[in-house]
Amino acid sequence: MKPKILFLSFTLAWLAFNVKAQTTINLSAADNPKAPVISKYIYSHFAEHLGRGIYDGFFVGDTSKIPNTNGVRNDVIAALKKMKIPALRWPGGCFADTYHWKDGVGPKDKRPAMINKWWGGTVEDNSFGTNEFLNMCEVLGADPYISGNVGSGTVQELSDWVNYVSSDSKNPMSDLRKANGREKPWNVKFWGIGNEAWGCGGNMTPEYYANEFRKYSTFMTSWNNDSKIYRVASGASVDDYHWTETLMKNIPRDLIEGIALHHYAIIDWSHKSSATKFSKEEYFKTMKSTLFMDTLVAKHSAILDKYDPQKKVGLVVDEWGGWYDVEPGTNPGFLYQQNSMRDAMIAGSTLNIFNNHCDRVRMANLAQCINVLQSVILTQGDKMILTPTYYVMQMYNVHQNATLLPVAIASENYVLGSGKLPAISASASRDKDGIVHITLVNIDPDKTHKISINVSGKKFIKVTGSVLASASVNDYNSFEDPKKIQPKTFKDVDLKNDGIAINMPSASVVVLTLN
């Protein structure tokens, strides 16, 4: 081969490689009156009576030296309000189907104690009950989502609970609420009818649970607030599509508003990995489990579409997040784990999935809010730190109640050995003021990725951005170094006539604002 031809061949090969070595995103910013809205409730959270989630997390008691409002930490209140928490699920989890709400109301010195059989065998004194939770939600500006006891409770018990919190007519339960110091009802909208009925909620078959749901749902009314009840069925564990099909086939549409789904990003239940000292192989497997959420949501949604083409029943992913080994020296039943940049990758990737499926996903609840699993806040005595996951949730809150904009991604791969995953995920929306936001995640821990975003339908004159990144995907905020990881201004972005060019750092989350 002649030298000139050889040189030309190498040049063409180099150009071809470099054209491919780029992620391309096509974004349509054109107005579409039929476009779905990203429900703010996708950014909701979960607080179970588990470990230090409630006590020593949210609640320290009104005699604590830690600044508080009616026993709830002021620093926690401020942080969650800044994050714009839209809803909070309580009291479980597995705990919900052992919880009898009347034990947690009235004078605290008369409330009976119980053993938390699911989580560490600790004594629960019921000092944080219905009134405390609902009053806290009011302070936070968050809607409460109560999980009712179906596993060990009764229809009457759950019906009474609905009346206690939502009835404004004279009846024994509204009278009890008033006797306990609350005149006006809280009007709770969101109700879970049991939790994980296939497991800790009763080990039921889907056929049996469908009948139980029909019975409980029938009596879940405050008689004067029927239209405000949003009843969520205990849904499938991961890829149990038969469970979803059975419920949708057997529950009338006038008795159900939502159906749940639970999936955790986990390597294996027998090998969860350290929260911070994980290997590259463990990181890859965790991200593979994370991205599986897209398949789960799509397949469960297809079943819902089959029985509910009008999309009246929402998919409620009310438990999701990373699950690892507990921190060394802590109670195994408390599920306390640190929160690294890996968790930021889980959060950003998962939220992009939920956003892009917002025509069916109406709520999602990160597990859990404080000191348990993938927390947004960790506390230690009077100290409080915000985790990388907190900052992702805060950065992404621009999508709350915004109109979804469709994106099509041709992503480079993140490769480890013979395995490969899409390196880049994204979602986009336009808010009520016409501002467009694009959220991007690069899960590749070793490589900066070039991204080209082609925008059609609108012209923009300015782009700004913020980025969450660190030197290593294993990095985390500690009580010794609480501000190691925080969002910073993102400058490696260029707005051109035909789109946007980005150099996205390894293991990073970026939010772009287009004006």
Predicted confidence (pLDDT) per residue in 76-107, tens digit? 999 999 999 999 999 999 999 999 999 999 99
Q: CA-to-CA distance for 377 and 367, rounded, in angstroms?
A: 12
CB 454 within 8 A of CB 499: yes
Nearest to 414 by CA among 379, 382, 446: 446
User: What's the token pair of residue 253?
Assistant: 């549409």
Instruction: Look up 412 and say whether it is catalytic.
Output: no
Domain boundaries, the chain: 23-33+406-514, 40-401
Q: CA-to-CA distance for 332 and 318, rounded, in angstroms?
A: 23
pLDDT at 498: 73
User: What's the token pair of residue 360?
Assistant: 């069916």
- Per CATH, the number for 23-33+406-514 is 2.60.40.1180
Residues in the chain: 515
Active-site residue, selected from the candidate residues 48, 212, 257, 319:
319
Instruction: Look up 196 and say whether it is catalytic.
Output: yes
- The pair phi, psi for residue 240, each rounded to 5°, is -85, 80
pLDDT at 214: 98
Going by their DSSP bridges, the two strands 72-73 and 488-489 should be labelled as unpaired
Q: Give residue for tokens 């990144």.
A: 469
- The pair phi, psi for residue 378, each rounded to 5°, is -125, 140
User: What's the token pair of residue 173?
Assistant: 């339960």
Active-site residue, selected from the candidate residues 132, 196, 257, 412:
196
Q: CA-to-CA distance for 30 and 33, rounded, in angstroms?
A: 10
Listing DSSP states for 444-502 in one string gives: -SS--EEEEEEEES---S-EEEEEE--S-TT-B--SSSTTSS--EE---EEEETTEEEE
Strands laid side by side in the 488-489 sheet: 403-405, 424-430, 436-442, 508-514, 463-468, 488-489
Nearest to 338 by CA among 234, 480, 226, 465: 480
Q: CA-to-CA distance for 320 and 377, rounded, in angstroms?
A: 16
- The pair phi, psi for residue 304, each rounded to 5°, is -60, -40
pLDDT at 222: 67
Q: Which residues partner with 467 through β-bridges?
A: 488, 510
Q: Tell me the three state secondary structure of residue 240.
A: coil
CB 30 within 8 A of CB 456: yes
Q: CA-to-CA distance for 347 and 441, rounded, in angstroms?
A: 9
First to last CA, the chain: 53
Q: Which stretches in the chain have pLDDT values below 70?
A: 1-21, 222-227
Let me know the angle formed at the C-alpha of 256 by 321 and 97, rounded to the nearest 5 degrees.
55
Q: How is domain 40-401 classified at the CATH fold level?
A: TIM Barrel (3.20.20)
CB 451 within 8 A of CB 23: yes
Q: What share of the chain is helix, strand, coil (3-state, %, to 5)?
A: 30, 25, 40
Let me know the angle formed at the C-alpha of 214 by 210 and 219, rounded to the nearest 5 degrees.
150
